[in-house]
Structure 1
Amino acid sequence: MKSSPLLLLVLTAALAIPLQALGADELAATRIVVGYPPGGGADGLARAYAQAMSKTLRHPVIVENRPGAGGTLAAVAVKTAPADGTVLLLGNILTNVLAEFTYEKLPYDAKADFVPVGQAARLEIAMAVPPGSAARTVADYVAAAKADPDNASFASPAAGSLPHFFGLLLGRAAGVALMHVPYKGGAPMNMDLMAGRVPAAFSAASEFVQLHRTGRVRMLATSGDTRDAQTPDVPTFAEAGYPTVHGSSWLALFAPAGMRLETLARMAAAVEAASADPEVRGAIDNLNMEYPNVSLAAFGPQIEEERRRWGAIVKASGFKAD
């Protein structure tokens, strides 16, 4: 994949700016806008980054929660904010990739209105079944779904989420029509999964880790290229025989489009430094997430590749959120 000229300029500018200049106190504060309520994983990650970034930027970095509409309210707020380093968005693959294809009238253009500043964390997608399920492998679940099409279903935390489309991706790979059962959040979905009221569920692996370790659900596979460090006993989908069921979700910092290159370079350097901060790494571990694994120069092309890949999958599903 080729890096975009803009990202290469930003990377070059970041390397050319001395560390003391990166920390110049040019702004009163920077706000990281999070599209989810306080106390959740995105909020916790944002607060860890805010504290670490303030060390490099040498001014306060604060978190502002603007929950609603799957994160799109936060995206709209940042879209119209000054592109001067005072406001960043903690976006994700939903707000900055999938929403473009799931909403007919999205109030922002994810590609034109934002520029990536840096990946903050990754989340593998996992498949889990109830503890009493006869399915010990993904192949077992697929065989049961083919034998009983009326009960061939899977749950996800939300319609239009990445786990929703991962379930459809497995159905396509396995040659079986799977019915999607959407929930309003991971908590009610997990309650029904543990109780055996749904035969399987897809969600961020971080949602299942503790439940899997305590035997309250059984994870069958994760979506990364390698096994999730949090659950090394769980195979990847590729190892389970479904190599096309792969990919990751992520959380990342974005700036409003139009930011000056030197300002963008300063923000990118602060995010990169924060990603290596021991306290941020500890927060990522505590949230059962994965460390960021791409440079800024590679992250932009990755987003474009994901737009092509998931756009085709969403369009084939016919799903619309509005």
Structure 2
Amino acid sequence: MTAVFALPLQALAADEPAATRIVVGYPAGGGADGLARAYAQAMSKSLERPVIVENKPGAGGTMAAVAVKGAPADGSVLLLGNIVVNVLSEFTYNKLPYDPKADFVAVGQAARLEIALAVPPDSAARTVADYLAAAKADPQHAAFFASPAAGSLPHFFGLLLGKAAGVELSHVPYKGGAPMNLDLMAGRVPAAFSAASEFVQLHKAGRVRMLATSGDRRSEQTPDVPTFAEAGFPTVHGSSWLALFAPARTRPETLARLEAAMQAASADPEVRKAIDALGMEYPNMTREQFSKQLPEERQRWGAIVRASGFKAD
């Protein structure tokens, strides 16, 4: 009986790469990089080979996606993707050097990021309704919201809230979360949408005030902050995420091994510690569930992006 099963196992081992690279489309030191490094260290234990992180920033993550698209489909190269690169880009760009649907297959969700609305610490707005009332009463000054980038998920969450409330909100795009937060803390913008992880520590320190988050339940990071549904806007919901993707031609058995390594890593205390430190939420679905969610997100956000008329190029 042993000999019967030995041959397939040996063949699989012989086909496996000597190492795996996780390509991250953002510079070292950021949240995506930190999460990738935590997963890399934990996954190397299950895969029994080195897992290293390669930073390939540029064009909002596009360069990393192109690099992985053409990589060997043997588990040696993975992409740390996100909802912008793997969903929104299909609708925000007229031309892409990759196909988000056809060129990649999901390995698994690495972390979730709720989207939050925050205001300056001295703002009179204590609730989402307060902010919207001010925006409606004084559209030339109060009806603005910032986001870390044009075409980002926070950008479209701001438009989604305006539509749900029947209030025209104007978008102020920034080049990253850091300059946006500086202006928010100083009161130079009346409100901002971003990943909740961008605001958590500032909120706890009283340097900004979070008004709502986009999850189905309150975040463990900020239990004092209601969800948009609790604030009266149930259609303003959803999460951003970070996930691992492989080239589309990757074999099912290779994907299964990578998924198992990811699941083991997501339960690793060091990975959980990193997710907490980054202000993110734990992954909450299997590879199959996440793969089924992707077309649903494309349908939902595609309609929102098209209605906005936004194009990045």
Q: TM-score of the superposition, structure 2-length normalised?
A: 0.95
Cα deviation, 1:176-209, whole Å, max 9, x if unaligned, reads 1100000000000000000000000000000000
Residue 65 (str. 1) matches residue 55 (str. 2): yes
Within 5 Å, give how 1:79-90 maps onto structure 2: 79-90=69-80
User: Is contact 1:24–1:57 with CA below 8 Å preserved after alignment?
Assistant: no
Give the alignment partner of residue 106 of structure 1, picking from 93, 96, 99.
Answer: 96
Matching residue of 1:253 = 244
How many equivalent pairs are there?
A: 305
| Corresponding residue number in structure 2 for 1:241 | 232
- Report sequence identity in percent: 81
Q: What is the correspondence of 1:258-269 to structure 2 with a 5 Å cutoff?
A: 258-269=249-260
Alignment of 1:118-267 (within 5 A): 118-151=108-141, 152-267=143-258
Q: Specify every segment of 5 or more residues in structure 2 that has no aligned partner in the other structure, as ranges.
A: none
**Partner SS, residue 250 of structure 1:** strand
Equivalent residue number for residue 86 of structure 2: 96
Structure 2 residue 287 is the aligned partner of structure 1 residue 299? no
How many Å apart are 1:292 and its aligned residue? 0.1
Which letter does structure 1 place at the counterpart of 2:182?
Answer: M
Conserved? CA contact 1:24–1:58, under 8 Å: no
Question: What is the TM-score with the length of structure 1 in the denominator?
Answer: 0.92
Q: CA RMSD in A?
A: 1.6
* 3-state secondary structure, aligned to 1:39: coil
Tell me by how many angstroms 1:50 deviates.
0.3
Counterpart in 1 of 2:20?
30
Q: Deviations over 1:32-60 (max 9, x none)?
A: 00000000000000000000100010000
What is the correspondence of 1:4-23 to structure 2 with a 5 Å cutoff? none
Distance 1:245 1:82 in 2: 39
Which residue number in structure 2 is paired with residue 77 of structure 1?
A: 67
CA contact (8 A) 1:127 1:203 kept: yes
Equivalent residue, structure 2, for 1:3? none
User: Residue 309 in 1 paired to residue 300 in 2?
Assistant: yes
Report the AA paired with residue 171 of structure 1. G
Q: Secondary structure at the match of 2:21?
A: strand
- State the distance in 1 between where 2:202 and 2:278 align: 14
Measured after TM superposition, the shift of residue 222 of structure 1 is 0.2
How far apart are 1:24 and its partner, in Å?
A: 4.6
Aligned partner of residue 140 in structure 2, secondary structure:
helix
**Which ranges in structure 1 are unaligned for 5 or more consecutive residues?**
1-15
> Which residue of the partner structure matches residue 9 of structure 1?
none
Q: Distance in 1 between matches of 2:18 and 2:208?
A: 47
Equivalent AA in structure 1 for residue 48 of structure 2? R
